[in-house]
Structure 1
């Protein structure tokens, strides 16, 4: 299972248009590339993913009016999580913080992440919403840090990262599959 996790670093008490836009933009990407979508620490009144999907879909024109968020929800690929206290739920797999400033000890390349996915390991790719990226405690509890620019340290705008991370990971997974086939 591959999951894009949007980590709320905006307002934790009130839902804003920025929250809705990020969800609406991430849903078609997750759907198109076979990812689950998880929201971490979003201030929704209900904690039912289906209710939240319907609520968000009713307020956006992005992603064909929320169609892809509803598709994810109907396929049980849309999840809501509280902020982690000691770690992320293990059913989502290996927590990987996406950051332009990875620690040397936790840094992995996108190719290494693609190899893990091809081995059948579940990956939780955590993307921070907002100007400050992921909080230090999330970087600390994440097993790995992924700089999608593979060490160049280029900071990407949130929606750019939401698009690039799954696309690059899936592309490398396909390339590795082809490489394996050619060796046979």
Structure 2
């Protein structure tokens, strides 16, 4: 089972801005803390590998203890660079989940449903739009599920808030499900 925070670049596909670096620096300790992978989708890091990017982020931030957790993700194989998807993502990332405050009725899923599937070993990549306009329409089409992390309240969250809450809530619900299963034995 592999759970991944997928930062989907809708900010600027041509050049890296400080906002990109800050979002990466903020997401890395969250991913590390909750045992998630971190994938950057459509970031313009032409010709650079994961280690070089981690070094660049570490040089430009004090967030996450100066990039320490991004480097740890690289070292553990949990940091990935992906192109914008044409038809989908590599299969190891599992099912695609678009995070949104306005899920379509046909694809809407509750946090507990995701957690139950993850506890049973299913992998997911949670797409979080990085930019004013959130995820593009193509991402919603590719996604098998649409997740409103507020479970039906439809509350739109700021990007960095979502980066923290999505893995924390999913990991917490998964732990509760595992605990309940142990208690029934």
- TM band (smaller chain): over 0.9
**What do the CA deviations read for 1:6-55 (whole angstroms, capped 9, x no partner)?**
00000100100000000000000000110000000001132411111111
Other-structure match for 2:175 = 174
Structure 2 counterparts to residues 145-156 of structure 1, below 5 A = 145-156=146-157
In 2, the alpha carbon distance for the partners of 1:107 and 1:169 equals: 16
For these two proteins, the number of residue pairs brought into alignment is: 184
**What do the CA deviations read for 1:105-150 (whole angstroms, capped 9, x no partner)?**
0000000000111011111011001121100110011010000000
The root-mean-square deviation of aligned C-alpha atoms, in Å, is 0.8
Other-structure match for 2:64 = 63
Other-structure match for 2:111 = 110
**What do the CA deviations read for 1:32-79 (whole angstroms, capped 9, x no partner)?**
110000000001132411111111111111100000000000111000
Cα contact 1:6–1:127 (8 A) shared by 2: yes
Structure 1 gap segments, 5+ residues each: none
Other-structure match for 1:50 = 51
Structure 2 counterparts to residues 1-184 of structure 1, below 5 A = 1-184=2-185
> SS in structure 2 opposite 1:182?
helix
TM-score, structure 1 length as denominator?
A: 0.98
Structure 2 gap segments, 5+ residues each: none
**What do the CA deviations read for 1:67-103 (whole angstroms, capped 9, x no partner)?**
0000000111000000001111111111101010100
